Amino acid sequence: MDKSGPANEAALHRAADSIEQLGSSFPDTYTGVEVDTAGDGLIVYRRTDSRFDAALSGLGLGVHVDLHNAPRSRKEMRATHDRLVPLIGNTTGYRIIRVSSGGDELAFTRGVVEVGVNGDLERAKRELGAKFGDLIKVVAVEPPAG
């Protein structure tokens, strides 16, 4: 029998939606949630906050939830993202191809916004690193086809 996901996948996604809604009330704490298909539960990334943890417990989700500490909230990562976007098309020696939204696994687990660049990677790391420090990770990507 081919299983594409956990038996309680629908319940996990409903619970994840509830956590996302709760997270919007805790913008300085909440980072994100992901479905852990291997563990048949959810992983919630957040900055340590007893009020958030209590509110999360009060949701009565009925699924297993693991809490992981995140170095930054989604709000903080969104602010970094919003500072990076105006730089698209305004760099020399490299081109910013994409800026992660803060909703991906790298953002959750490392608290960074990923910046995909094409061109002089070392220059991009040096220049962007000077402006954003450990808030970002600069990686090489191929330019879009077309």
Per run of 10 residues, the mean pLDDT along the chain (length 146 residues) is: 63 94 95 84 93 96 93 90 95 94 63 92 97 94 81
Listed residue (100, 91, 84, 83) closest to 119, CA to CA: 91
Q: How far is CA 109 from CA 88, 102, 127, in A?
A: 25, 11, 24
DSSP output for 24-61:
HT-TTTEEEEEEETTTTEEEEEE---HHHHHHHHTT--
**Residue 117's pLDDT is what?**
96
Put simply, whether the predicted model's pTM sits higher than 0.85 gets the answer no
Q: Show the domain range for 91.
A: 74-140
The confidence score (pLDDT) of residue 1 equals 38
Residue 101 and residue 117 in one domain: yes
The answer as to whether 114 is a domain residue is yes
Q: Are residues 56 and 86 in the same domain?
A: no
